[in-house]
């Protein structure tokens, strides 16, 4: 694990020049040299530098293991693991030449990997077996202080294996498997009862229904019978933030909710939650937010439905030194699961109170959408698309239809809504998109990153709306939808090139603004504020001013 950043500033052994790469991308030999290791560690080459560094850095009294992740090549498929023996990689298995514990570590991790990949990714994934070979990275002559094993996770020259390696969810799955295998190895070795980290909580909501109150609620994470997920949570850590990025140290809660009183009205609070048990803390939930309520204020609801994280979102980078265009798994440019920050900031700037919930609450019919509670709904769909499930499921469509037909208002944004529901969707999906949202799919890609308001529409006074082309602070909008209005709807934004970027409609019963690209990707905060203010004007939701005097007069 490499901590720290910056650019490489050490001329690597036998290189003769700086790498001109971020330090975390540099080879092991150069990095161990930067870390201050002696030439006996790095001079022999990149492969052995890894295990030699582990031996050099390791404190003798520590309890460590060495696990190396590789991709394979040569025309095969599937996963194999190796410990050391003096034979070539010919399928031989000799557990007696490696450091004590290596075979047991290999078995624990290998079995966990195969179980989890077959159970959660591909039931027919090939198990190439546990093997041994004279690989330098696990050679006891380079590192005799800890059990060591090497994983050939998948074949980068096999189309299905390579596709798996490109997928963030596959990497997350197998990373968890490796962790769980290590835990099981130590538990078996030491004869102790183990507890695996829990999964993150789900169905998060944060609401402020009364003056100065804040209610946070969630559901317990999944615990499966397939030996894939973690163990059950015994408590939860609730983290609060004023900006959605910098969180406090957390409050431990032994139930599935947290109620806070005497909060400052008008202050926006962001929240994320982690599950906890004796094994430690889970990854965090998505980030949601609420503006703490004044008395008798108008409120709207923000629903986060952008859960997608897959290989279709990989960032393309030009790296001519290794062959040209390369897919990079820069998660911060794919989905940070906190885009309520941009929405909440703009809504707050418009002087309107809001709550935030996960879309799963609507999908599972746990949370009701009522006009009496929320004058408008703001639905975040980012780049959610058919590749990870419908942008809006049947239950979500039904909930929105019922809400709108009672006088609701909807602001919905995303780059794949029309492509998913109208172009690829079922007849029911198309009916919802055409008859309720009053829009139709025109094309999948506007081939631009700029839109302008149209005269006579809610956004008439807004021009030069630029959204992220990959150089901005959010994520590249790969395929902004081109959407056309269906009567009585009209266009309100056009992309550069005179294609429709946004539709709006007032049916006399409900109102909808539908943006063909994600609102959070608008690069200018001031443009987001302008767009949101005009949305509130169209929805007739006034700016709320807090009471100044004790007699309730402003």
Domain boundaries, the chain: 58-190, 196-291, 298-338+369-539
Question: Which residues are bridge partners to 439 per DSSP?
Answer: 485
* Residues ≥6 apart with Cβ < 8 Å to 238: 216, 250, 251, 252, 253, 258, 271, 273
Fold of the domain built from segment(s) 298-338+369-539: Rossmann fold (3.40.50)
Run of H or E residues at 485: strand 482-485
pLDDT (tens digit, 9 = 90+) per residue, 283-292?
A: 999 999 999 9
Q: What's the CA gap between 513 and 506, in Å, rounded?
A: 9
In the chain, % helix, strand, coil (3-state, to 5) comes to: 25, 25, 45
* Residue from 240, 246, 109 nearest 180 by CA: 109
Buried b (16+ CB within 10 A) or exposed e, 115-150: bbbbbbeeeebbbbebbbbebbbbbbebbebbbbbb
Task: Identify the H or E element spanning 127.
Answer: strand 127-133
Residues 463, 456: Cα–Cα separation, whole Å: 13
Q: How far apart are CA 210 and CA 214, in angstroms?
A: 8
Phi-psi domain of 6 (left: phi exceeds 0; alpha: psi -120 through 50; beta: other): left
CA 502/CA 457 separation, integer angstroms: 11
Confidence of residue 443 (pLDDT cuts 50, 70, 90): very high
For the stretch 137-185, pLDDT in tens is 999 999 999 999 999 999 999 999 999 999 999 999 999 999 999 999 9
Structure confidence at residue 364 (pLDDT): 98
Mean pLDDT, residues 417-436 taken together = 97
Cis peptide before 488 (omega within 30 of 0): yes
* N residues, the chain: 554
Q: What is the pTM of this model?
A: 0.94
- For 375, the token pair is 């004058």
Q: Would you state the pLDDT for residue 547?
A: 52
Are 233 and 255 in contact by the 8 Å Cβ rule? The answer is no
* Contact (CB, 8 A) for 523 and 473: yes
| Sign of the dihedral defined by the CA atoms of residues 430, 436, 442, 448, in that order | negative
pLDDT surpasses 70 at 551: no
Question: Longest C-alpha distance within the chain, in Å?
Answer: 88
Confidence band (pLDDT; 50, 70, 90) for 13? confident
Give the whole-angstrom CA distance, residue 265 versus residue 268.
9
Determine how many CB atoms are found less than 10 A away from the CB of residue 516: 30
Contact between residue 44 and residue 37 where contact means Cβ atoms under 8 Å apart: no
With contact defined as beta carbons under 8 Å apart, do 417 and 481 qualify?
A: yes
- At residue 550 the predicted structure's pLDDT band, cuts being 50, 70 and 90, is very low
Please state which of the ranges 6-20, 84-98, 109-123, 328-342 shows the lowest mean pLDDT: 6-20
Fold topology of 196-291 = Immunoglobulin-like (2.60.40)
What lies within 8 Å, CB to CB, of 469 at 6+ separation is: 449, 476, 477
Q: Is 315:501 a contact under the CB 8 Å cutoff?
A: no
Quick check: 72 pLDDT over 70? yes
Domain 58-190: homologous superfamily in CATH: Zn-dependent exopeptidases (3.40.630.40)
pLDDT in the model for residue 506: 99
Residues forming beta bridges with residue 389, ordered by sequence position: 387
Which residue has tokens 């943006």?
A: 515
Bridge partners, residue 374, by sequence: none
274 φ/ψ angles, rounded to the nearest 5 degrees: -125, 140
Q: Rg for the chain (alpha carbons), in Å? A: 27
């Amino acid at each position: 694990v490499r901590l720290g950043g910056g650019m490489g500033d050490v001329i690597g052994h036998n290189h003769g020049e700086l790498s001109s790469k971020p330090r975390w991308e540099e080879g092991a030999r150069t990095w161990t040299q930067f870390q201050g290791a002696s030439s006996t560690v790095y001079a022999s080459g990149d492969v052995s530098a890894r295990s030699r560094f582990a031996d050099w850095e390791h404190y003798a009294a520590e309890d460590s293991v060495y696990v190396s992740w590789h991709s394979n090549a040569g025309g095969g498929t599937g996963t194999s693991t190796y410990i050391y023996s003096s034979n070539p990689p010919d399928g031989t298995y000799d557990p007696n030449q490696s450091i004590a514990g290596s075979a047991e570590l290999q078995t624990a991790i290998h079995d966990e990997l195969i179980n989890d990949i077959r159970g959660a990714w591909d039931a027919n994934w090939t198990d190439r077996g546990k093997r041994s070979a004279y690989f330098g990275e696990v050679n006891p002559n380079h590192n005799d202080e800890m059990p060591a094993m090497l994983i050939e996770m998948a074949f980068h020259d096999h189309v299905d294996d390579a596709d798996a390696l490109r997928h963030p969810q596959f990497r997350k799955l197998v990373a968890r498997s490796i962790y769980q295998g290590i835990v099981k190895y130590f538990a078996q070795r030491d004869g102790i009862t183990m507890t695996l980290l829990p999964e993150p909580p789900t169905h998060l909501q944060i609401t402020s229904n009364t003056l100065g109150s804040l209610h946070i609620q969630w559901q317990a994470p999944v615990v499966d019978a397939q030996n894939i997920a973690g163990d059950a949570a015994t408590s939860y850590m609730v983290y609060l933030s004023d900006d959605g990025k910098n969180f406090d140290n957390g409050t431990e809660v032994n139930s599935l909710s947290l109620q806070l009183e005497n909060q400052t009205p008008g202050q926006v609070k962001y929240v994320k939650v982690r599950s906890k048990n004796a094994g430690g803390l889970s990854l965090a939930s998505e980030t949601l937010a609420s503006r703490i309520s004044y008395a008798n204020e108008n409120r709207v609801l923000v629903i986060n439905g952008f859960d997608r994280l897959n290989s279709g979102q990989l960032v393309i980078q030009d790296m001519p030194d290794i062959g040209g265009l390369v897919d990079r798994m820069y998660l911060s440019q794919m989905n940070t699961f906190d885009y309520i920050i941009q929405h909440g900031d703009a809504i707050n700037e418009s002087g309107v109170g809001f709550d935030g919930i996960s879309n799963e609450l609507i999908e599972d019919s746990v949370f009701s959408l009522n006009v009496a509670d929320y004058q408008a709904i703001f639905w975040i769909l980012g780049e959610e698309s058919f590749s990870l499930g419908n942008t809006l499921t049947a239950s979500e469509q039904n909930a929105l239809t019922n809400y709108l037909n009672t006088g609701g208002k909807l602001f919905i944004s995303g780059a794949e809504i029309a492509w998913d529901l109208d172009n690829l969707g079922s007849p029911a999906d198309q009916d919802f998109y055409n008859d309720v949202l009053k829009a139709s799919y025109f094309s999948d890609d506007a081939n631009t990153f700029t839109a302008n308001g149209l005269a006579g529409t809610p956004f008439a006074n807004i021009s030069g709306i630029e959204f992220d082309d990959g150089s901005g602070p959010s994520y590249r909008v790969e395929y902004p939808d081109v959407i056309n209005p269906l009567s009585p709807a009209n266009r309100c934004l056009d992309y550069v090139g005179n294609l429709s970027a946004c539709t709006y409609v007032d049916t006399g019963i409900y109102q909808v603004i539908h943006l063909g690209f994600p609102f959070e990707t608008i690069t200018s905060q001031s443009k987001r504020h302008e767009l949101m203010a005009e949305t509130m004007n169209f929805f007739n939701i006034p700016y709320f001013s807090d009471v100044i005097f004790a007699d309730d007069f402003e």
